[in-house]
Structure 1
Amino acid sequence: MDASRIRAVRRGAVAVVLVCAAVLLGGCSNPATSARRGGPSTAQAALPLVTNDLQDQYQKVIKEVLPSVVQIQAGQSLGSGVIYDDKGHIVTNAHVVGSEKTFRVTTARSEEPLAASLVYSYPEQDLAVIKLDKVPQGLRPAVFGGSDQVEVGQIVLAMGSPLGLSSSVTQGIVSATGRTVSEPADDGGSGATIPNMVQTSAAINPGNSGGALVNLDGQVIGIPTLGAADPGMQGGAAPGIGFAIPASMVRTVAGQIIGTGKVTDSGRAALGVTVRTVVDDGYQPAGAALVTVKAGGPAASAGLKAGDVITRLGDTAVGTTTELAEALAEKKPGERVTVTYERSGTRKTAQVTLGEQ
């Protein structure tokens, strides 16, 4: 388990774009004329007011939300979490809790760490819920927003414990929505593939995982989970590209865990198989080979067998297990899709009704 690792963006490629800041130059008009038109003198008077308003809004949101963000110590690793309700439930990332069952939690109001225990971890969506063994007075749950509260360009604040620095805040904007991101597993293999993530320019550093991405209405709109890695920097972080699990998915998963002790309705499409990547004669990825096929599952019902190699799901080419997971992440349970595969050197197709993961 590594709560501080930097993850790789979809398909492992990140373009590094150098953005030059444009210098806004004033006009060349006569200063007296500009003053008569309400030019520089008016702008200079208005700018501090706008700046102060935004600063006041930042401070208001931080004061409201930061007490709902905690630091989690899981074994030798540190991460962040968000207080979900007044019963002591805290939502965080599955990779923050790792294989640990007990934790030490530092809240904004606790001088000493509080004991907590694992309720359930759901690595498929990289979410987990832990619960304080004893609920202190004054515990403040966060307010979670929905998908309608997320718009590209809106200002957001990331709150957490980057590099162990508790109660830290960074700011940025929502850069994009609907991203599908694949994480590496602890063993270097294929980890979780998470759809519909929120991309942000707010700094997401090691230790931010499991914290809060907050809009200026004080609503948690996502759980910061990973930062992009730039292959050109030998796996180093790509500045300004971070990802958060949307609050709507957090509420869905956390609600089921708290209500039933597990995830009963993931909403994630599945074939009912385990797979591995195979390569061609040139050692290039050539498809996802079926290692096991669940009896009575979607793939088995469509006639697929262990040893078949999937090369396409619908219109999406599949060369690796990660690409298959990414293709499935864009589908819904119950959706009917054409699966192209090879069996003993012969290309075949099958119509598969997707199940649920």
Structure 2
Amino acid sequence: MDPSRTRVLRLLWAPLLASSLILLGGCTGTSGPVAGKTASANPRVSVPSTASDLQSEYQRVIKNVLPSVVQVQAGEALGSGVVYDDKGHIVTNAHVVGYEKTFQVITAGSVSPLTARLVYSYPDQDLAVVKLDKVPGGLRPASFGDSAKVAVGQIVLAMGSPLGLSSSVTQGIVSATGRTVSEGATQGGTGATIANMVQTSAAINPGNSGGALVDLNSQVIGIPTLAAIDAALGGSAAPGIGFAIPASTVKTIADQIIQSGRVTNSGRAALGITGRTVVNGGYRPVGVAVVEVKRGGAADKAGLMAGDVITRLDDTAVTTITSLAEALAGDKAGQKTTVTYTREGRQRTVGITLGEQ
């Protein structure tokens, strides 16, 4: 595995899980073993009544969707991607593309790898779009579902290239929705805090990142991005805990990238500051110090200044940069809230209208 693509991450908002649980990213190096990303989530969708029927459903979905899932080689690392349209656009994770600009892509119909170039990478949401230099005949775009209708208990399949094993499929259910997860900014992570992720029990391993989480109506409901390991057990896998970026977010970001070459409207709330975590005499984090205020941004308009220490956003305590990102993840640009901070030893609270990241 290429160490530059190994990511250590942290699970948020999961009080039933051990505090030692961390997350490992989903890219794998090329040294891994070789073989020898509607009505889809409607709870009223009929469920097969026998094992034979369920097996047939799995096989039908795999036949429909697997041709739309590709393997992406970025330098020495491998990940997965999903064919987004018939023009050769492929959506994947930003951590899959890393700092590369050109890629080798293996599609379901490829005799040899195809070349592709980066359109745009958006690390804040851990999404990227690459485009094939030449679109092969028969390229099949995936169909993306409605994330708002995803239901806990829904059967899903994860498709991608775990450990370099292309066209692999695992199965599970939607374990939870609305999870907020923060990635580490070291060892290949983007440092993103991503809201509304879909938690799944389908196995997600290094290399699955950027692939497809699919329902039984052959709709992509998410892009697998993170899988969990348990540090308390020496880094061994914590089975059945994986996370996917919801399809609605994928479509919003990918459409902007394809149309404008960049993300023009993230919808992500921001204070408009550069900050750092502050610790007390016991080295415990106690807030976020404002290092710089963006001119004309939300914090500037509210009167925040460099040197202020933010301790609360609305009713949520803020002790670190990560906790501030977590608090903002569920908010929207233009939303009104309050910021509590200290200045010269005095605590103050000010109303603020959040800006956009």
Q: TM-score when scaled to structure 2?
A: 0.88
Distance, in Å, in 2 between the alignment partners of 1:65 and 1:205 is 19
Deviation at 1:292, TM superposition (A): 1.1
1:345 aligns with 2:342: no
Aligned to 1:132: 132
Alignment CA distance shift 1:301-1:187 (3 Å): farther
Aligned to 2:108: 108
Distance, in Å, in 1 between the alignment partners of 2:59 and 2:18 is 32
Alignment CA distance shift 1:242-1:187 (3 Å): closer
Distance, in Å, in 2 between the alignment partners of 1:14 and 1:236 is 19
Amino acid paired to 1:98: G
Distance, in Å, in 1 between the alignment partners of 2:190 and 2:13 is 11
Distance, in Å, in 1 between the alignment partners of 2:254 and 2:166 is 23
> Deviation per CA, 1:173-232, whole angstroms, max 9, x where unpaired?
000000000000136898100000000000110000000000000000000000124342
Alignment CA distance shift 1:114-1:151 (3 Å): same
Distance, in Å, in 2 between the alignment partners of 1:164 and 1:10 is 29
Superposition pairs of residues 143-162 of structure 1, within 5 angstroms: 143-162=143-162
Deviation at 1:167, TM superposition (A): 0.3
Instruction: Give the alignment's Cα RMSD to 1 decimal.
Output: 1.9
Q: Which is greater in Rg?
A: 1
Aligned to 2:121: 121
Alignment CA distance shift 1:15-1:73 (3 Å): same
Distance, in Å, in 2 between the alignment partners of 1:330 and 1:60 is 36
Superposition pairs of residues 281-300 of structure 1, within 5 angstroms: 281-300=281-300
Deviation at 1:345, TM superposition (A): 1.6
| Higher share in helix | 1
The alignment of Structure 1 onto Structure 2 pairs a total of residues equal to 327
Amino acid paired to 2:204: I
Aligned to 1:45: none
Aligned to 2:27: none
- Contact 1:222–1:246 (8 Å) recurs in 2: yes
Alignment CA distance shift 1:315-1:246 (3 Å): same
1:329 aligns with 2:329: yes
- Contact 1:3–1:209 (8 Å) recurs in 2: no
Distance, in Å, in 1 between the alignment partners of 2:88 and 2:261 is 15
Deviation at 1:149, TM superposition (A): 3.6
Amino acid paired to 1:247: A
Deviation at 1:4, TM superposition (A): 4.6
1:98 aligns with 2:95: no
Aligned to 1:81: 81
Distance, in Å, in 2 between the alignment partners of 1:80 and 1:296 is 40
Q: TM-score when scaled to structure 1?
A: 0.88
Distance, in Å, in 2 between the alignment partners of 1:196 and 1:232 is 27
Unaligned runs of at least 5 residues, structure 2: 20-47
Aligned to 1:308: 308
Superposition pairs of residues 155-304 of structure 1, within 5 angstroms: 155-186=155-186, 191-304=191-304
Greater shift in the superposed pair: 1-10 or 48-57: 1-10
Distance, in Å, in 1 between the alignment partners of 2:74 and 2:289 is 36
Distance, in Å, in 2 between the alignment partners of 1:78 and 1:189 is 15
